[in-house]
Amino acid sequence: MAIKTNDLNARLFGKADKRRATTVAEAQSAAQDKAAVIELAVAGEKTVAFELVKVNAGDIEGKTQVFAQNAREQAFLNEHALADILTTLKDRGQQYPAVGRWLEDGRIEVLDGSRRRMACILANQDFLIYVASGIQSDHAKFLSDVANAHKPLSLFERGKEMQALLATGKVSDQKALARYCQCSEALVSGALKAASLPMELLMAYPSVGELGRPTIVKLHKMYFSLDEKQQQAFVDALSKQEQPVWQRVDAQGITRITREVTHHIEALSEKVRPSTAVESKPQAVELIKGQASYVRDGDKLQLKLSQLSEQQAEHILAYLADYLK
């Protein structure tokens, strides 16, 4: 009688390929061991079997896609934003498989692991992912949200989530948002400011996740000091450039690059503002050299008199008082 592969593995290595994970720690342990199948309790409601699938490096973009409701903005995922995992992945491959679900067309939708997916694309490495069938949208959202706890969302991404909460009526204002999200009102304000900025502006930076509240507040003030026409010209200037600003900055290190990008952004915003003509100030006209001069400014007249005796001053003041009555 033939021995099943699972049974053979169990006899040879003292463990089966199938794992039942009831806690996050158990799931992480199973993922690290790359068990062929894991059973995971989804949202505490039901246990689902996930099968480990390897997607060849060249097929990742075509055979997988990221869950549409994933809070993480995929456009921001570049080598700087993924630096914390990219080096290890290049050297040793993917250590922890992602989690996803099968779509009707045979492709895989990534629920947990969009950063690992993009890192594999950039590093030209095979992509490992646990995939299950029959995952409903609410459970998919649960898995996606839990995954984002591994790497904090940027202020922009948090702001987008907060905007959605306001739009759906789950919260009424920023104070309610702070209570709902268990954070300070200052953080809520910064996140909403970030979410209101155009993508073209944020993508000028190497890693949006590294932009703190002071930088976001500065960018918000700068952008919204422009009128609508100037804002459009500003965005057009950024989008027409062949490379993002951060790729053209001559600096090393994420902090220095970010600072240089901000300087470039500020200079660009000044370029789209129409130059205001500086009004020339009225010049003084000399009436009597060394003694009397005047400045005419609209309906104003300024007299400057010098070398006057007490009597001359009294006569002039008396004349002016009488004339202007």
pLDDT given for residue 1 in this prediction: 36
Lowest mean pLDDT among 28-32, 60-64, 131-135: 28-32
pTM (whole model) above 0.75: no
DSSP 188-226: HHHHHHHHTS-HHHHTTSS-GGG--HHHHHHHHHHHTTS
Instruction: Indicate whether 169 pLDDT > 50.
Output: yes
Which residues are 100's β-sheet partners? 110, 131
DSSP 103-155: -TTS-EEEEE-HHHHHHHHHHT--EEEEEES---HHHHHHHHHHHTTSSPPPH
Query: Confidence class of residue 29 from pLDDT cuts 50, 70 and 90?
Result: low
| Mean pLDDT of all residues in 114-138 | 89
Which residues are 296's β-sheet partners? 301
Sequence-ordered alpha helix ranges (H) in the chain: 5-13, 24-33, 60-63, 83-92, 114-123, 137-147, 155-168, 174-181, 185-195, 199-202, 213-223, 228-239, 254-271, 310-323
Lowest mean pLDDT among 43-57, 172-186, 229-243: 43-57
Query: Confidence class of residue 266 from pLDDT cuts 50, 70 and 90?
Result: very high
Instruction: Indicate whether 100 pLDDT > 50.
Output: yes
| Mean pLDDT of all residues in 175-179 | 91
pLDDT given for residue 25 in this prediction: 52
**Quick one: tokens of 179?**
């209570």
Q: What is the mean pLDDT of the chain?
A: 82
Instruction: Indicate whether 177 pLDDT > 50.
Output: yes
- Assign residue 54 a region: left if phi > 0, alpha if psi is -120 to 50, beta otherwise? beta
Q: Which residue has better confidence, 186 or 305?
A: 186
Instruction: Indicate whether 138 pLDDT > 80.
Output: no
- Taking the C-alpha atoms of residue 175 and residue 43, their distance in angstroms, rounded to an integer, is 28
Instruction: Indicate whether 3 pLDDT > 50.
Output: no
| 129, 113 Cβ separation under 8 angstroms | yes
Instruction: Indicate whether 147 pLDDT > 60.
Output: no
| Mean pLDDT of all residues in 156-176 | 90
pLDDT given for residue 6 in this prediction: 43
Q: Which residue has better confidence, 124 or 138?
A: 124
